[in-house]
Amino acid sequence: MKNLFVLLLFSFSVPAFSDIYSDINNIEKNMLEWRRHLHQNPELSNREFKTSAYIESHLRSLGIEVKTNLAFTGVVGILKGDKPGPTLALRADMDALPVNEQVDLSFASKVTAEYRGETTGVMHACGHDTHVAILMAVAQLFSQNKTDLAGTLMFIFQPAEEGAPDDEEGGAELMLEEGLFNDLKPEAVFGLHVTSNMNSGYAAFRTGPMMAAVDDFELKVIGKQAHGSRPWSGIDPIVTSAQIINSVQTIVSRRTDVTKAPAVVTFGAIKGGIRNNIIPDDVTMVGTIRNFDMGIRNDIHRQLQHIISHVALANEAAVEFKINEGYPVTINDPDLGVKMLPSLKKVFGAQKVIDPGLITGAEDFSFFANEVPGFYFFMGVTPIDKDAKTAPTNHSPHFYVDESALLNGVKAFVQFVQDY
């Protein structure tokens, strides 16, 4: 009876934020100005210094408590409402990619930077500029309606989602290691991502595993150089590598229970030798691992080690093998998903919220969602008169965002807070 009373009380209570919904439409112009500024001034992972300062200035102008320098350039705004209630976190990622923009925009990026020793163009080719602008708008809306806010909001502006530079740490994992949730731990964390794979006005969400865990691996097969006419006088790392590649394919096809969760093991590069008649001393290979179950992930790691070491041993070669653990599986908490999916449908419409199935891309939002219940969704940004199936994908130099879709992201975050 107590639970029924609480439910009825909630259902018939006076809605909070009486003014915030009228404020949403008024903020669109400012949000697009912020987005265009950020798009024109992109910065690579762990180098988001100007972006960080831009966000910090905005939050401080709203009277929001600000913490900086988490994971080098991360910014966190903390807004305490005038009424008691839960703490919720809203997250946006800030970094851009080493991509030369090829979109005809008045605010297209002309920025260049050094990446792995080369000069490259820099572009918000994954839409993180839109994520930041959306969250800046949400922060302003709630700061203007603080008297109706029952609880506390954390606005997390996270660097290095695309991965920290070589030999550096970064991103969500480092923010947590540096104490992001130590003093103030939210009950739930919400995140979004724009995608060109859907038209504007559509959203994608599923409970449970949504995006894959990702790891990369490095392998060096060490043999013994020999003349191509006398292979018996050496140890051939090329033949050994070929056998390793073929054997590794059995991990997914014969050793993984794909009825439980799918997995992928891919070799992305192989390099060895320089001349047709010289067997080289060594061959190097790199690859990626994707999966949706942490137990399967651990087993794939074990089997890779087992196959590589034993195939090399059979060929009398040596190996140097390293797995660089990346992001865990991005999991939408089932209970939170059931609770908040109706909120997403209020914004987009029930018929326009789809289940995307499992996505083999990866996201370090997963680290936040491992600490507290998480809710992560995609929203389409391809114009409705364009075919989303043929639109340039995220990370493309032709990636294009329909700005009219962005207000849906603001509305969704506001609705989550309102309904929670």
Is 403 one of the catalytic residues?
Answer: yes
Residues 6 or more apart whose CB falls under 8 angstroms from that of 236 comprise 223, 226, 279, 315
Structure tokens at 36: 């265009």
Which residue among 48, 54, 202, 327 is the active-site one? 327
Strands 150-158 and 74-80: antiparallel
115 is catalytic: no
Give 287: exposed, middle or buried? Use CB within 10 Å, 0-12, 13-18, 19+: buried
Active site members: 327, 403
